[in-house]
């Protein structure tokens, strides 16, 4: 052992006041389980996402006339060009029936057009109309304002941490 250093093999776990000897590990295990349950990360993330989605939907509907789901498709197509229905679902984490319903509603509103893929006639390709492109630009301004408000509320450090963590969850999922 190096003089003045702590020998970790001989170190005793911290004593919790008022507990009989040997009960510390049991109490620490209970505290760890309680902490995991109390934090409810998944539930908190889901509640925060719903609240933010409701706020985004309200602003997007009032200012632009689109939902946040429609805005997501508009952004995707404006930034990446036409996409197959399956790609839209994969990129936005939507199941096929949800994508079909969403795109059909958007096509009825003249936001997008569907056509048969040139490469695979069984597959539909979705692209923006001029109306859809204009709506994408307008929706982008609304969501930029929401992002600015959120970053202001969180501060730079927490905004950076949240971005890093959410990106990790979105990419790894």
Residue 113 domain flag:
yes
Residue 12 domain flag:
no
Using the CB atoms, write b or e for 98-126: b if 16+ within 10 Å: ebbebbeebeeeebbeeeeeeeeeeebbb
The CA distances from residue 145 to 60, 88, 122, in Å, are: 11, 25, 40
CA distance 17 to 22: 12
Residue 93 domain flag:
yes
The number of distinct structural domains making up the chain is 1
Comparing 76 with 173, which gets the higher pLDDT?
76
Q: What pLDDT score was predicted for residue 158? A: 95
CA distance 52 to 109: 25
Q: What pLDDT score was predicted for residue 1? A: 41
Residue 160 domain flag:
yes
Question: Which phi and psi (to 5°) does residue 10 adopt?
Answer: -100, -5
Name the residue range of residue 83's domain: 42-172
Q: What pLDDT score was predicted for residue 10? A: 40
Residue 13 domain flag:
no
Longest dimension (CA), the chain: 79
CATH number of domain containing 63: 1.10.10.10
Please give the full DSSP string across 142-155, using - where no structure is assigned: HHHHHHHHHHHHH-
Reported as a single tens digit per residue, the pLDDT across 4-56 is 434 334 444 444 455 555 566 666 666 666 665 667 888 889 999 999 999 99
Residue 123 is classified by DSSP as S
Is the pTM higher than 0.75? no
Q: What pLDDT score was predicted for residue 121? A: 76
Reported as a single tens digit per residue, the pLDDT across 115-154 is 988 887 778 899 999 999 999 999 999 999 999 999 999 9
Residue 164 domain flag:
yes
Residue 127 domain flag:
yes
């Amino acid at each position: 052992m190096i003089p003045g250093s702590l020998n970790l093999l001989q170190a005793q776990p911290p004593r919790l006041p008022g507990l009989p000897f040997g009960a510390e590990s049991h109490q620490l295990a209970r505290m760890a389980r309680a902490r995991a349950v109390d934090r409810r990360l998944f539930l908190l993330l889901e509640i925060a996402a719903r609240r933010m989605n409701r706020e985004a939907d309200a602003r997007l509907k009032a200012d632009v006339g689109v939902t946040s789901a429609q805005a997501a498709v508009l952004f995707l197509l404006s930034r990446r060009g036409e996409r197959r229905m399956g790609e839209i679902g994969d990129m936005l984490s939507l199941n096929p029936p949800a994508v079909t319903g969403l795109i059909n509603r958007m096509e009825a509103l003249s936001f997008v057009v569907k056509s048969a893929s040139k490469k695979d006639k069984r597959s539909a390709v979705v692209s923006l109309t001029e109306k859809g492109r204009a709506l994408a630009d307008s929706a982008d301004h609304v969501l930029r304002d929401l992002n600015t408000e959120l970053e202001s509320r969180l501060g730079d450090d927490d905004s950076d941490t949240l971005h890093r963590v959410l990106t990790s969850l979105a990419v790894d999922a």
